[in-house]
Structure 1
Amino acid sequence: MQNAILKFEQLLDENSNYFSTIDPIILEERKPGKWSKKEILGHLVDSAVHNLIRFTEINYLEKPYRHRPYNQIDLVNLNQYKTKDIVELTELWLSLNKQIVRIMKAVDDKALEYKIVLSDESVIDLKFSMTDYVEHLEHHINQIRS
């Protein structure tokens, strides 16, 4: 878990000031059927919101915890990330993720074993969910940086 936390903090440190340095035209450019870089960052905000709730709720709701999926495309559109100021969007992304880091640092070994039932009825644990979140974040940051 410690490696995932270190990687997570590194991703936040390396990118929190970077996004606002990207040319606005590049940030807002969309290819057919794809999100713009700004919309990808917005998707990461939505992901942070949902995972912050999951990583918190699992500690007090009935076990196994039932994962609730969300409509990623609708959320990106409804939240209008394509028109949001990049500095404001980055601050929101960073703030949410700093809170997730706090939760990850505070979680105990027993909680890491809590089971999560996904929508397809497969089962993972909190540790997998947290480390997968960091991998998901890195994947999309790489898309923004490319």
Structure 2
Amino acid sequence: MESVILKFEQLLNENVNYIPTINNEILEVKNPGKWSKKEILGHLIDSAIHNLVRFTEINYSEKPYRHRPYNQIDLVNLNQYQKTDIKELTQLWFLINNQIVRIMKSVDENALDYKIILSDESVIDLRFLMTDYVEHLEHHINQIKS
């Protein structure tokens, strides 16, 4: 997990100051059926909120843990990320993810093997979920930077 955490911290530290420097016109461009770069960052905030809960709950919930999906499109729209100041969005994204870093650093090695049942009934473990979270974040950061 150490390399995943280092990558995660690097993504956060490289982008917390960069994202707010992107021209607002670029951040707000919307193509049909696609999110703007602001909305992508909003999606990353929603993802962080849900994963913070997951990474915390799995430690005290009944095992195996049942992964609850969320409606990504509705959340982006309801939270009005398109209309929110980019500095505020970036700060929220950064702070929630810093808390996730703290959890990842403190998670017990045995907890990484806790089983998680996905909505399609497939089974993963906490290690996979945490690693996948960082990969998901990297994918969307690359979309914002492109």
Q: What TM-score do you get using the length of structure 1 for normalisation?
A: 1.00
Amino acid at match of 1:67: H
* Amino acid aligned to 1:108: D
How far the C-alpha of 1:9 sits from its partner, in A, is: 0.2
Match of 1:47 in 2: 47
Query: Which stretches of structure 1, 4 residues or more, deviate above 4 A after TM superposition?
Result: none
Residues 1:72 and 2:72 are matched in the alignment: yes
Note the residue ranges of structure 1 that are not aligned, 5 or more in a row. Answer: none
What residue is the counterpart of 2:109 in the other structure?
109
Please list the CA deviations of residues 102-135 of structure 1 after superposition, one character each: whole Å capped at 9, or x if unmatched. 0000001100000000000000000000000000
Question: Could you say which residue in structure 2 is the equivalent of 1:136?
Answer: 136
Task: Give the SS at the match of 1:62.
Answer: coil
Residue 97 of structure 1 corresponds to 97
Residue of structure 1 equivalent to 2:83: 83
Amino acid at match of 2:120: D
Instruction: Note the alpha carbon deviations across 1:49-88, whole angstroms, 9 max, x for none.
Output: 0000000000000000000000000000000000000000
CA distance in 2, matches of 1:127, 1:64: 14
What secondary structure sits across from 1:137 in the alignment?
helix
2:7 equivalent in structure 1 = 7
Partners of 1:126 and 1:84 in 2: CA distance: 32
Deviation of 1:96 after TM superposition, in Å, equals 0.2
Amino acid at match of 2:62: E
Identity %: 77
Gaps of 5+ in 2: none
The alignment partner of 1:93 has SS state of helix
For this pair of structures, how many residues does the alignment match? 146
3-state SS in 2 of match to 1:124? strand
Tell me how far 1:48 sits from its aligned partner.
Answer: 0.1
Instruction: Name the counterpart of 1:122.
Output: 122
